[in-house]
Structure 1
Amino acid sequence: MQGPPITIRLLLLMLTSVALMTVDHRQNHLDTIRAGLSLVVYPLQYLVDLPSAIAHWASDNLSARTTLVEENQQLHARQLLLEVRLQKLYALEAENARLRELLNSASKVGEQVLIGELLAVDQDPFRRRVLINKGSDDGVFEGQPLLDAYGVLGQVVEVTPFTSSALLITDPSHAIPVQVNRNGLRAIALGTGEAERLEIPHIPNNADIQVGDLLITSGLGRRFPPGYPVATITEFEKDPSQPYARVVAEPAAHLERSREVLLVSRTAEEPSP
């Protein structure tokens, strides 16, 4: 026995579906079935969306990493710039301290003074000379004494209109008359070519000299005004087999560190040497 035609069966199926949807809409009998189906379908939806989610995640992370790298580079460059500026501030602070010491020293000098700055240092290991940014146009003259905030540096030996060359007291060809500040004993301090060493020749073994004595300019020869610190005695060795003792002194001036210098001018009453 044949069943109903296909058209009738489709019509019955549609009517049944409409009836079920109407009943479900009113009484929600299919919610449980729908919930179960959603649990089954969710993993499939997650797998379908996974490539797109991974692409967005990678893009966001790459963009964030690029931004962090750029910010890190900018911060590193700024840090280097600030460190350079900080070093410059340290240098300016040290220069300011040196100038204050120099001005304080200038106020104690009775003669007229001119503040100069070193431009260059002679690289010859057997010479101790410096170039100064003051010349004859500024009143600098040959033989003019050169000081820093701590003592005698040397004297001017060559002058041009805008610069001058000075011979330091440690140059092997330099000699300066000195006296012991404690007792007035006169001597000559000779340069040795070493930065921190002077020799005091022809001192008898029985001379009243002690380690630590301060040597000052004696004013003899009228080249250096009297009373300026020159050096401090560091060695005094007596040799009975020799007529003279071995005497070594350390310069009071900062020969290897001073950048600013004082050029001492003669007073009106002081004759030229």
Structure 2
Amino acid sequence: MDLPPERLTRFARHIVLPELGGAGQVALASAHVVLVGCGGIGSPVLQYLAAAGVGQLTLIDRDVVDASNLQRQTIFAEADIGRAKAEAAADWVRRFDAALKVAAHAGTVGDDNAEALLEGATLVLDGSDNFATRLTVSDTCVRMGIPLTSAALGRFQGQVANFAGHRSGHSCYRCFVGDAFDAEDCDTCADDGVLGAMAGIVGTLAAMQAVRVLTEGVATLGDPQWGRLHLFEGLVPSLRTMRIAKDPECSGCSKL
């Protein structure tokens, strides 16, 4: 794949980075990322993946834009209130870079449609707001052999990790949280609050980790850090990392 002159100009600051270069930019342009959740995390993720030139984006979200979202979900404006987030987010992409392919699914990810929605993905980035969706996405990624970037946010804390549960010896998201959680177990931003800038920090960190995965083997940004959970504490601030071990009894990945 060759980048036309106008794309070389647009991504010049990427291409001059020895750690990324032309090969890395081509890898980004050839990638297909499925973004689950277009809210607080998904909003900055989408901005930076689109800005990075990720060639194809599938956007999934079941919610509509609410006035209370505008404090942190920066791709939306007052005119979007009441619109499906996935559709409004797709329109943002089209305005930002017409060369990118984008599709929207205004609905949920469940056992009945997960494989169809994730088909053809180079990477899935999950910023959804409940464990039921997260576990379904993780299990589907393991079955389909798709890497997963997982990001979560609440109040002044955030966490980001890359998982490759489909690879031998690597943990999956279910190894981290187990089998007990469902949609009723989640705290929500409406209940607990969240600082808007925290969404930007966690979302951009997730985008950075996604770029590591998308350019693996063709750039020298460093390894994708599979199974390493990065925990960001905004009040201090501080960042620490812990390794998620593979659970030999995990119902999501142990039988591979």
Query: What is the TM-score of this pair, normalised by structure 1?
Result: 0.23
**Greater RCO (Cα-Cα under 8 Å, separation 6 or more):** 2
Structure number with larger C-alpha Rg: 1
Greater per-residue strand proportion: 1
Query: What is the TM-score of this pair, normalised by structure 2?
Result: 0.24
